[in-house]
Amino acid sequence: MTEHLLKILIVGDGNVGKSSFVHRYVSGQFNKTYKMTVGVDFSVKLLRWSDKEKVRLQLWDIAGQERFISMTRIYYKGALGCVVMFDVTSSSSFSSCRHWKQDLDNKAMLPNGDSIPCILVANKCDLAHRAVSADTIDKFSKAHGFITWMETSVKDNKNVEEAMRMLAQEILSV
Ligand code: GDP
């Protein structure tokens, strides 16, 4: 059995649902009051990928960041993929995605110099009052080199596993 270790970053403004996303994905729960410790922390999820392969996903969540800040290279070191998350009801959290992606493109490179694969995640799609249209997200995602984008609801457990699988698939196909 081969085991792949994938370090994956989860970035985005504060309150978009990063900690809830990781918690849901790793433990299958949505807990409104759940909060990770402030600072960088990571959680682990093991996936059976095929008959011969296992995948160990190491999810690095930056907790406690209210808006975009340039991260240190240490945080990005060795990362093979990233989830850039915003809240569909917050246009400012969407605007920040451009900065998050730029910071990633500058600092998080694969050994061959390419940018690491990033998926754009539009969270809280269960909420009615949207601030960003699907068309705008789609154009942005294509213009900034995301592998794709997906709507998720951590609350309703919609597309959380799908988004992570898509990203892992892309990483393993490189
Ligand atoms: P973080 O600061 O990005 O880690 O965000 P949190 O995970 O702490 O979530 C911020 C708030 O959004 C919390 O009150 C969560 O319960 C809530 N939340 C997270 N995901 C969703 C979602 O998909 N739908 C709704 N309605 N609320 C969510």
ipTM above 0.95, yes or no: yes
pLDDT bucket at 40, cuts 50 / 70 / 90: low
Give nearest CA residue, ligand 1 atom 17: 17
C-alpha of residue 20 to centroid of ligand 1, in Å? 6
pLDDT at 41: 64
| SS3 call for 68 | coil
The distance of Cα 100 from the centroid of its chain, to the nearest Å, equals 11
- Among the listed ranges 34-48, 68-82, 120-134, 148-162, which one has the minimum average pLDDT value? 34-48
pLDDT bucket at 34, cuts 50 / 70 / 90: very low
pLDDT at 141: 98
Rg from Cα positions in the chain: 15
Ligand 1 contact, 124 CB (< 6 A): yes
Give nearest CA residue, ligand 1 atom 26: 124
Contacts of 74 (CB under 8 A, 6+ apart): none
Contact 31, 167 (CB under 8 A): no
Contact 1, 54 (CB under 8 A): yes
Predicted confidence (pLDDT) at residue 127 exceeds the cutoff of 90:
yes
Q: How far apart are CA 57 and CA 79, in angstroms?
A: 11
Percent residues over pLDDT 90 in the chain: 72
Token duo for residue 129: 């009052």
Contact 88, 132 (CB under 8 A): yes
Helix, strand, coil percentages in the chain from 3-state DSSP, rounded to 5: 30, 30, 40
pLDDT at 73: 77
Q: Kindly report the average pLDDT of the chain as a whole number.
A: 89
pTM (two decimals)? 0.92
Mean pLDDT of 124-132: 96
The H or E element that residue 146 is part of is none
